């Protein structure tokens, strides 16, 4: 027990037993239900799952951006270099936001203020946190725009978001996120709204910046291809809980949780191999349960091919099979026990 605490104090980010619930008329929604994750310095953690599994809420909880009402962090700790973000006073938290932890959103068009130039918006980050003069901030912003490889930086600085393409807007957002050289970036579906070719460019950019600046990235996505590209470790979420956690290669080559296996199988293959045999697209039977009407026992049990009796009665705990490999499944932990 002590060892764990020591380790978590040395980590960049350590989320412990996080509970973020939403109080809506239909019932209590446990969007994040006892989630424990960590990110070390210099590593990228991927957070995968379908829409509505709680990945974005986890990221928003880190920066305490959950709108209340109706949502609220009701339990757990989020330690960032030892500081508990859940207990930090607002003005202290504001110093961390955009400065030591930054966020990149999915929709760059709506995440940029339409009435300010992108130069202004990036410069604002420098003015707010580093207290630069407007002139210095403008210069630094231009440097940042160059760093994210937006062509003709001087011209682009004075342009408004609607004058830029999707890929460029996303780069601008990344520039804003990186401005103060944060230790951690939360990237919430950063490439989902972009064309595939642009996706590739943006991912390359993020990886490059990760390598040169040493920033850790929490990459949240439902796209397994993105995870394979960027992440060092991966956590898979389902209905608010972590079901599997592993390093990226073992997860892809040897996934253990039935849900992870289902996810990987449902990715359609491209190319000639795919048309040979003309197999139907594999799907996970059933639907994601609504979060205020969860099944008893394991959340995944109604759709699981490896279901046992205990799965309908008790929720499986998240066990660490060996260092770095966690699984929440009765069938699997039984086999490995």
Partner 1 sequence: MKRETTRRKIVRTFLKNRAALVGLVGAVMIIAISLMATVLSPHDPIAQSMGNRLKSPSRTHLFGTDDYGRDLLSRILYGSRLSLMVGVLSVGLGMAAGIFMGVVAGFKGGVLDNIIMRSVDIFMSFPTLLLGLIVLAVLGQGMFKLVIAIAIAIAPRFARLSRGSVISIKQNDYVDAARTIGMSNARIMFGHILPNIIGDLLVMGTLWTATAIRVEASLSFIGLGMPPPDPTWGGIVKQGIEFLDSAPWISLYGGLAIMITVLCFNMVGDGLRDIIDPKLRS
CB of 292 to partner 1, least distance (A): 23
Binding piece for partner 1, criterion CB under 8 A, among 6-14, 24-32, 96-104, 232-240: 96-104
Q: Is 99 buried (19+), middle (13-18) or exposed (0-12) by CB count in 10 A?
A: middle
Nearer to partner 1, 90 or 309 (CB): 90
* 330-to-10, 42, 306, 310, 313 alpha-carbon distances in Å: 31, 33, 9, 7, 11
Cα R_g (the chain), whole angstroms: 21
Nearest to 243 by CA among 316, 311, 165, 178: 316
* 58-to-11, 95, 304, 310 alpha-carbon distances in Å: 18, 20, 25, 28
* 65-to-51, 71, 117, 127, 287 alpha-carbon distances in Å: 19, 10, 25, 22, 29
- The answer for residues whose C-beta is within 8 angstroms of residue 149's C-beta and 6 or more apart is 171, 205
Task: State the virtual CA torsion across 43, 183, 220, 127 in degrees, nearest 10.
Answer: -160
Asked if 65 is part of the footprint of partner 1 (rule: CB under 8 A), the reply reads yes
CB of 94 to partner 1, least distance (A): 4
Q: Is 159 buried (19+), middle (13-18) or exposed (0-12) by CB count in 10 A?
A: middle
Asked if 111 is part of the footprint of partner 1 (rule: CB under 8 A), the reply reads yes
Asked if 156 is part of the footprint of partner 1 (rule: CB under 8 A), the reply reads no
**Contact between 76 and 16 (Cβ < 8 Å):** yes
Nearer to partner 1, 86 or 111 (CB): 111
Nearer to partner 1, 125 or 203 (CB): 125
Binding piece for partner 1, criterion CB under 8 A, among 21-29, 40-48, 103-111, 297-305: 103-111
**Contact between 172 and 122 (Cβ < 8 Å):** yes
Mask 5-24, x = binds partner 1 (CB under 8 A)? --------------------
Nearer to partner 1, 188 or 315 (CB): 188
Binds partner 1 by CB under 8 A, chosen from 37, 96, 205, 331: 96
Binding piece for partner 1, criterion CB under 8 A, among 46-54, 110-118, 133-141, 297-305: 110-118
Asked if 192 is part of the footprint of partner 1 (rule: CB under 8 A), the reply reads no
Q: How far apart are CA 178 and CA 148, in angstroms?
A: 9
Asked if 287 is part of the footprint of partner 1 (rule: CB under 8 A), the reply reads no
Binding piece for partner 1, criterion CB under 8 A, among 104-112, 286-294, 308-316, 318-326: 104-112
Asked if 128 is part of the footprint of partner 1 (rule: CB under 8 A), the reply reads yes
The three-state secondary structure class of 28 is: strand
Binds partner 1 by CB under 8 A, chosen from 89, 114, 268, 285: 114
Asked if 270 is part of the footprint of partner 1 (rule: CB under 8 A), the reply reads no
Interacting residues toward partner 1 by CB under 8 A: 63, 65, 94-99, 102-103, 105, 107, 110-116, 124-125, 128-129, 158-160, 163, 173, 176
């Amino acid at each position: 027990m002590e060892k764990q605490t020591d380790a978590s104090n040395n980590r960049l980010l350590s989320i412990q037993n996080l509970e973020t619930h939403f109080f809506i008329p239909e019932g209590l929604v446990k969007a994040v239900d006892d989630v424990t994750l960590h990110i070390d310095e210099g590593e990228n953690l991927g957070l995968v799952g379908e829409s509505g599994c709680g990945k974005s809420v986890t990221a928003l909880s880190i920066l305490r951006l959950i709108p209340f009402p109706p949502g609220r962090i009701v339990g757990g700790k989020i330690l960032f270099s030892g500081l508990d973000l859940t207990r930090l006073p607002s003005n202290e938290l504001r110093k961390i936001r955009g400065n030591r932890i930054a966020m990149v959103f999915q929709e760059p068009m709506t995440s940029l203020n339409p009435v300010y130039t992108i130069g202004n918006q990036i410069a604002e980050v420098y003015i707010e946190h580093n207290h630069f003069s407007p002139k210095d901030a403008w210069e630094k912003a231009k440097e940042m725009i160059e760093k994210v490889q937006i062509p003709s930086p001087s011209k682009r600085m004075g342009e408004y978001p609607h004058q830029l393409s999707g890929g460029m807007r996303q780069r601008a957002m990344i520039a804003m996120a990186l401005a103060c050289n944060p230790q951690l970036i939360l990237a919430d579906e950063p490439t989902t709204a972009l064309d595939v070719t642009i996706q590739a460019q943006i991912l390359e950019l993020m990886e490059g910046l990760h390598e040169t600046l040493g920033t850790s990235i929490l990459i949240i996505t439902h796209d397994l291809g993105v995870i394979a590209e960027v992440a060092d470790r991966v956590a898979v979420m389902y209905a608010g809980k972590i079901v599997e956690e592993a390093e990226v290669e073992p997860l892809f080559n040897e996934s253990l949780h039935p849900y992870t296996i289902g996810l990987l199988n449902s990715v359609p293959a491209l190319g000639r191999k795919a048309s040979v045999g003309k197999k139907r697209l594999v799907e996970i039977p059933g639907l994601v349960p609504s979060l205020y009407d969860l099944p008893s026992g394991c959340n995944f049990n109604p759709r699981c091919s490896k279901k046992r009796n205990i799965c309908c009665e008790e929720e499986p705990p998240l066990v660490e099979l060996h260092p770095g490999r966690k699984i929440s499944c009765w069938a699997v932990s039984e086999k490995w026990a």
